[in-house]
């Protein structure tokens, strides 16, 4: 019998993370809401949930570096990716008019992505919160009349709030990429993309040589991200995504070749590429 | 006659940025304090200050990505770099005892870097502020008896506050790298390190080819950082530091070669390498 899936997410129900979970796994999926990303990872590592869904990168604000660090600290495997279009709305308690609003509450990244809206409306004060959907929850629970939230449509629906303005973000091309992580290895089909992390020996041209193991085998790369190694000032870990699966010949050879050049190398998971929004090769 | 230097910094006097400014330029340097990094860049771009000093990277928490984005948006040139050792202290108003403290105020990055201290003292609540030195200013101005700040020694001295505990950070190897930016090009001596930013044409192995222009000429790289290109989902800009100066033959040839592979390429500045803490090659 199939184990029931429970997905830990950061933020409240109605958040973009919940939206990504249902798009990936269907409307019946059960989510477990956490305030912090540490908690999201821990619940899954401790088997309190079967999976967790974490944002890893936004097409405007860049990588969620904290989650790269947490990926390394916990032994969880990436089993799926999804690119979610992000559309921010101005959400209020039913009946509240735009003229009444003085404060706008949301996650700091969402506030940053609506900079032009705030420039046009200098009377509004920004206030940071830990989650977009959580801001909607707050204006509803506290019955705030002079506050609005910035959140997705789904958050407004979930909390029975009203959308006053839709699409208030600066840039319509706004996508967040999420990873579904599992506490145990899952061998699904079409696992044609792989994420790894490595650090290399201190030799000249080290990064060039590490990239060569892919280039010499015509393996496409999609992403590279560097993070500091704590306690070893100015040394870096590199996270990389490539096309292929370590069970195929060329990627397997590339990883063996890479292991000759690295001090540390770990496969974070192989998963089906989300082709809805094709990432450019690098 | 020499123009008087005025340095825009983020945060209050006594902050790590001011400390970096005086280590680089001497105790007489005049600073102009700003709340936000945008303001720091704008004051210098608008010639209200001759320079600005910005943190670009911390050896534990990684790059200050916002400042990479702002570097590109403003036409300022990097003229110096400095690596500053960061030592966090627990700072209180004179006479306050540890037992009285309930809340600890600081910049979120400083709070994160003292995680073990908070684990050992679960009775303490963290509170975010925009600046380390600004938190000390607040506890002093408001005469707070149940709050402490986390900040550097210099912030305590500047505000005549008391250091209750020194070195409370998790990791003693904590350095922040700063850039001194000027509104006009300065041709100082020993400009042996260069920072560039580029984006490349969408071809397979593009990043590998871009790194090859340095590797084939034995030019050492120290840092690579990728940032999203707004409005072009999942395309990246790459920031890179290398050893050398575009006026020398090999770096000049490498940059010409790189321009064949890139859509966009800009030199952000050449400056003397801070050899106090040697960065590893990548």
Contacts A278 to B, Cβ<8 Å: 234
Q: Return the CATH number of the domain spanning residue range B193-270.
A: 3.30.70.260
In whole numbers, what is the pLDDT of chain A averaged over residues?
Answer: 92
| DSSP bridge partners of B262 | B200
Kindly list the strands in the beta sheet with A221-228, ordered across the sheet, starting from the edge strand earlier in the chain.
A221-228, A236-243, A193-200, A262-271
List the pLDDT tens digit at each of the 282 positions of chain B.
357 899 999 998 999 999 999 999 987 899 999 988 999 999 999 999 999 999 999 998 899 999 999 999 998 999 999 999 999 999 999 999 999 999 999 998 899 899 899 999 999 999 988 889 999 999 999 989 999 999 999 999 999 999 999 999 998 889 999 999 998 877 878 899 999 999 998 888 999 999 999 999 999 999 999 999 988 888 899 999 999 999 999 999 999 999 999 999 999 999 999 987 666 788
ipTM for the whole complex: 0.89
- Comparing CA positions, the residue from B53, B54, B49 lying closest to residue B5 is B49
Which of the residues A44, A49, A176, A262 is marked catalytic?
A176
pLDDT of residue A1: 39
Decide if pLDDT at A227 tops 60. Answer: yes
Residue intervals in chain A for CATH 3.40.190.10: 6-86+174-182, 89-165
What CATH superfamily is the domain B89-165?
A: Periplasmic binding protein-like II (3.40.190.10)
Tokens 């920072």 identify what position? B195
Which of the residues B117, B178, B200, B238 is marked catalytic?
B178
Whole-model pTM? 0.91
One of 3.40.640.10, 3.40.109.10, 3.40.190.10, 3.40.50.261 is the CATH number of A6-86+174-182, namely 3.40.190.10
Stretch 152-171 of chain A: residues touching chain B, C-beta under 8 Å: 171
pLDDT of residue B1: 39
What CATH superfamily is the domain B6-85+174-182?
A: Periplasmic binding protein-like II (3.40.190.10)
Question: Burial, A153: exposed, middle or buried (Cβ in 10 Å; 0-12, 13-18, 19+)?
Answer: middle
Decide if pLDDT at A252 tops 90. Answer: yes
Q: Return the CATH number of the domain spanning residue range A193-268.
A: 3.30.70.260
CA distance A69 to B230: 24
Residue intervals in chain B for CATH 3.40.190.10: 6-85+174-182, 89-165
Note whether B161 and B61 are within 8 A (CB).
Answer: no
Decide if pLDDT at A2 tops 80. Answer: no
Q: Across the interface, do A234 and B277 touch by the CB < 8 Å criterion? A: yes
* Model pLDDT for residues A159-211, shown as the tens digit of each residue: 999 999 999 999 888 999 999 999 887 787 889 999 999 999 888 899 999 99
Stretch 232-271 of chain A: residues touching chain B, C-beta under 8 Å: 232-236
- Comparing CA positions, the residue from A131, A160, A127, A166 lying closest to residue A146 is A127
């Amino acid at each position: 019998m199939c184990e029931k899936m429970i997905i830990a997410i950061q933020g409240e129900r109605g958040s973009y993370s919940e939206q990504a979970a249902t798009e990936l796994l269907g409307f019946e999926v059960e989510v477990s809401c956490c305030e912090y990303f540490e908690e999201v990872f821990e619940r899954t590592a401790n088997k309190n949930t079967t999976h967790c869904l974490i944002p890893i990168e936004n097409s405007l604000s860049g990588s969620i570096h904290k989650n790269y660090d947490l990926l390394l600290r916990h032994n969880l495997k990436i089993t799926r990716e999804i690119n979610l279009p992000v559309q921010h709305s101005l959400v209020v308690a039913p009946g509240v008019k735009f003229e009444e609003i003085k404060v706008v509450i949301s996650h700091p990244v969402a506030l940053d992505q609506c900079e032009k809206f705030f420039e046009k409306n200098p009377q509004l004060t920004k206030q940071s919160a830990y989650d977009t959907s959580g801001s909607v929850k707050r204006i509803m629970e506290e019955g705030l009349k002079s506050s609005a939230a910035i959140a997705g449509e789904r958050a407004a629906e979930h909390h029975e709030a009203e959308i006053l303005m839709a699409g208030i973000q600066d840039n319509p091309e706004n996508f967040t990429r999420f990873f579904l992580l599992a506490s145990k290895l899952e061998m699904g089909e079409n696992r044609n993309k792989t994420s790894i992390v490595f650090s290399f020996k201190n030799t000249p041209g080290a990064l060039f040589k590490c990239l060569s193991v892919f280039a010499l085998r015509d393996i496409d790369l999609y992403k590279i991200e560097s993070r500091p190694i704590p306690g070893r000032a100015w040394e870096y870990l590199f996270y990389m995504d490539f096309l292929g699966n370590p069970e195929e010949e060329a990627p397997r050879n590339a990883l063996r070749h890479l292991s000759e050049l690295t001090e540390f190398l770990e496969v974070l998971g192989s998963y089906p590429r989300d082709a809805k929004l094709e990432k450019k090769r690098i």
